[in-house]
Amino acid sequence: MQLTMVDWLVIALYFLLNIGIGLYYRSRAGRSVSEYFLSGRNVPWWLAGTSMVATTFAADTPLAVTGLVAKGGIGGNWLWWNFVASGMLTVFFYARLWRRSGVMTDVEFAEIRYAGKPAAFLRGFRALYLGIPINCIILGWVNLAMVKILQLILGVSKFDALAIVIGLIALTSLISTLSGLWGVLVTDAVQFVIKMGMVIVLAVVAVNAVGGIDAMKEKLVLVDAARGASAGGRGSVLSFLPDIGSVWMPAITFLVYLSLNWWATWYPGAEPGGGGYVAQRMFSAKDEKHSLLATLWFNIAHYALRPWPWILVGLTSLILFPDLADPETGYVRVMIDYLPPSLRGLMVAAFAAAYMSTISTQVNWGASYLVNDFYRRFVKPAESERHYVGISRWATVLLTIISAVVTFYMDSIAGAWKLLLVTGAGTGGVLLLRWYWWRINAWSEVSAMICAFAVSLLLQTVWGMNSDQPVDFAWIMIITVAITTVVWLAVTFLTSPEPQETLVSFYRRTRPSRAGWRPMAALAPEVRASGDAAANAIDWIAGCVLIYSVLFGIGKVLLKEFTVGFALLGIAAVAATVIYRHLSSRGWKVAE
């Protein structure tokens, strides 16, 4: 793709803007570790929520969605659409609890919920496990997407593209280390506007390139016919529900998505009960109200508002580039061949924005684990705030180097997604119940993490199952979840509960539902625990209805199926009204 001097000027201005934001927030970030990692716990809901959305919109996301559409049509996106139920659980059952906990990271939670050496081990283990290998796998697939983009745009080798990406990581890390979370949040908001604007423009250009929506639908009928002949009879690529008899989505795989994935699996951005950078944004919110509203806005934008520009480009790529060896590159090829020259610089800047928003969050989040939950807790617990901020900046350098190595040996973005899904299978139950059942102890979590990793690894190595194959993926999930659940429940009942004083302290601090904490509630009668479980359950259901109705309603309107589309949007309005009335009656209106 040819870039003009104007394009390069636009790209340069974008990078200068980001550096300017980093410099502006530099002095504020250096005040303390809390300011560096949590923005002083004073972030408004709209900024925290938008940052969550921007982080999950990485350079890999449009490419991965294009690959899913190429394999399974629109319905192929159920790989991640199934996490709506988990996201809504976080909003209505966990966001306020996380904010009440007062911790700096979700890993630190271990030592307010549990006690003694097991709690300390769990905190240190999770800090290193999530902060380095898991975080660097995530960074690796985000880097891989940018490598693929640069290879196509600049016509360079993977090694050369990776060298450029390392330069981008260095720049992103510089901004992150200078400005802390405030700089990350503000740049996320700016980057989100840029990248959403440009992916919408590209979707319009792509649809026009195939002759409009009607022509696209007609041409996709021919694509369906060709795919049916070659892939064992798939359903239409325009179907919102997958063809559960297809090679891509067997019935057992779809059943696993709907029944297991959303609650049983740890996955970044969709952790059962919240965690990772989502939890970090909840901790940074002004109060419980802002924490809840931030996660609500994130889930609506993430699942319902954002996917369609990517999906439309993915559909057009099936027409414009029907025989790609790597379908994920179809998105970039549409951009290269059909985007007007006047917009190419902005589109490259949009990809850079998508890439940098995720990288900045991941290195800041990963560094928070390494510094707050390992170095400060176990190595040097009595140093100055300035010392810890300095170590935090060095931690980002370490993560940058490791992630570059991971990227070089990674080939598939969607494959990496599935690898993390099966690795974390079975841990979701204990992560959800630790807030609502006093009997969960530190060994419950430790055993769940170790068992899930070991079982999924054995199934893929010794028994030769492949997580990238739909049927194998489903059985890995089923077997891993079943064995892990039995193991952690057995460990829970075979080991002693946490000390009474620790449990009562946690109950007083977070005020969870009394139902699973009756022995502790009896010892703390002055605590006014939340009694809104029924209202939360109604809001959870309404939230799921809201998101799916908006998601599919927008899709139907875009495909000119107006009657069904507007009917779905009407259902969404009813669901939104239910949620608003419940929140308002309990004092959860949007704060000024």
pLDDT-derived band at 590, boundaries 50, 70, 90 = very low
Contact between residue 328 and residue 64 where contact means Cβ atoms under 8 Å apart: yes
- Residue 524 main-chain phi, psi, to 5 deg: -135, 65
Enumerate the domain spans of the chain: 5-243+271-412
Q: What pLDDT digit, counting tens, does each position of 18-34 carry?
A: 777 777 766 665 555 66
pLDDT digits (tens, 9 = 90+) for 550-563: 999 999 999 999 99
Tokens of 205: 């250009």
pLDDT confidence bin for 242, thresholds 50/70/90: confident
Of 463, 28, 106, 451, residue with least CA distance to 271 = 106
Q: State phi, psi for 444 to the nearest 5 degrees.
A: -60, -50
Selected from 1.20.1730.10, 3.40.50.300, 3.30.70.2860, 1.10.3720.10, the CATH number assigned to the domain covering 5-243+271-412 reads 1.20.1730.10
**pTM, full prediction:** 0.83
63 in Cβ contact with 247 (< 8 Å) = no
Neighbours of 259 (CB within 10 A): 14
Percent of the chain as helix, strand, coil, to the nearest 5: 80, 0, 20
pLDDT tens by residue, 405-423: 777 666 655 555 556 656 6
DSSP secondary structure letter of residue 83: T
Which pLDDT band, with edges at 50, 70 and 90, does 369 fall under?
A: confident
**pLDDT (0 to 100) of residue 111:** 92
Q: What average pLDDT score do residues 283-291 get? A: 86
pLDDT at 177: 61
Whole-number pLDDT of residue 318: 93
For the stretch 53-89, pLDDT in tens is 887 887 778 888 998 898 888 988 988 898 999 999 9
pLDDT > 60? residue 591 = no
Rounded to whole angstroms, the Cα distance separating 485 from 490 reads 8
Residues 342-364 have pLDDT tens digits of 787 788 888 777 777 777 777 77
Task: Give percent above pLDDT 70 in the chain.
Answer: 87
pLDDT at 265: 81
Instruction: Spell out a b/e string for 280-294, using b for 16 or more CB atoms within 10 Å of the CB, else e.
Output: bbbbbbbebbbbbbb
From 296-305, 306-315, 485-494, 576-585, the region with the lowest mean pLDDT: 576-585
Q: Tell me how crowded residue 321 is: count the other CB atoms within 10 A of its CB.
A: 16
What is the pLDDT averaged over residues 211-217? 94
Q: Which residue has the higher pLDDT, 246 or 362?
A: 362
Buried b (16+ CB within 10 A) or exposed e, 402-431: bbbebbeebebbbebbbbbbbbbbbbbbbb
CB-count burial class (<10 Å; 0-12, 13-18, 19+) for 461: exposed
CA distance 342 to 485: 55
